[in-house]
Amino acid sequence: MAPTAADSPEVRRRGVLVGSLATAAGALMPAARSEAQAMTSSSQDGPAAMPPAVRSTLRINGQAHTLTLDTRTTLLDALREHLHLTGSKKGCDHGQCGACTVIVNGRRINSCLSLAAMHDGDEITTIEGLGAPGKLHPLQAAFVKHDGFQCGYCTPGQICSALGALAEIKAGIPSHVSSDLNAGQQATAEEIRERMSGNICRCGAYSNILMAIQEVEAAKP
Q: To the nearest whole number, what is the mean pLDDT of the chain?
A: 86
pLDDT in tens, 158-195: 999 999 999 999 999 999 999 888 778 889 999 999 99
Residue, of 54 and 52, whose pLDDT is higher: 54
The CA-based dihedral angle spanning residues 130, 136, 142, 148, taken in that order and rounded to the nearest 10 degrees: 70
Residues 6 or more apart whose Cβ sits within 8 Å of residue 60: 79, 83, 85, 124, 125, 126, 129
Residue 46 pLDDT = 58
pTM greater than 0.85: no
pLDDT in tens, 107-137: 999 999 999 999 999 999 999 999 988 899 9
pLDDT band at 31 (very low <50, low <70, confident <90, very high): low
Q: For the domain bounded by 53-129, which CATH number is listed? A: 3.10.20.30
CATH superfamily of 138-218: [2Fe-2S]-binding domain (1.10.150.120)
Residue 124 identity (one-letter amino acid): I
Residues 209 and 145 sit within 8 Å (Cβ to Cβ)? no
The CA-based dihedral angle spanning residues 203, 218, 197, 176, taken in that order and rounded to the nearest 10 degrees: 160
The CA-based dihedral angle spanning residues 172, 186, 87, 59, taken in that order and rounded to the nearest 10 degrees: 20
CB atoms within 10 A of CB 53: 14
pLDDT in tens, 35-49: 556 555 545 555 667
Domain ranges of the chain: 53-129, 138-218
CA 144 to chain centre: 26
